[in-house]
């Protein structure tokens, strides 16, 4: 089965990867000095997945969706937290 090159699927995959990684990192006691650490570390798999979608799998629309979720989330973390 081949995955379709779809922008909306990229948005969904990017959000799901972030949510899964964030939930795993939430359980680590970071302390007050590193309050943003789980948020920022949870975006790393999204960046890696973005690169794989664009370069290895040649799925441009899927990569753009993942990139949009990743960049929007990073901007929200920097400006709101």
Check: CB of residue 18 under 8 Å from CB of residue 46.
yes
Model confidence pLDDT, tens digit, residues 3-34: 789 999 999 999 999 999 999 998 888 887 88
Confirm whether pTM is higher than 0.75: yes
Residue 77 has pLDDT above 70, yes or no: yes
2: DSSP letter: P
- Per DSSP (E only), the strands in 24-73 are none
């Amino acid at each position: 089965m081949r995955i379709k090159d779809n922008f909306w699927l990229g948005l969904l995959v990017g959000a799901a990867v972030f949510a899964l990684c964030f939930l795993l990192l939430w359980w680590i006691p970071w302390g007050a000095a590193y309050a943003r650490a789980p948020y920022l570390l949870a975006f790393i798999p999204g960046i890696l997945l973005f690169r794989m979608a664009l370069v290895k799998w040649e799925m441009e629309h899927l990569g753009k969706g993942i990139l949009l979720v990743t960049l929007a989330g990073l901007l929200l973390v920097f400006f709101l937290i």
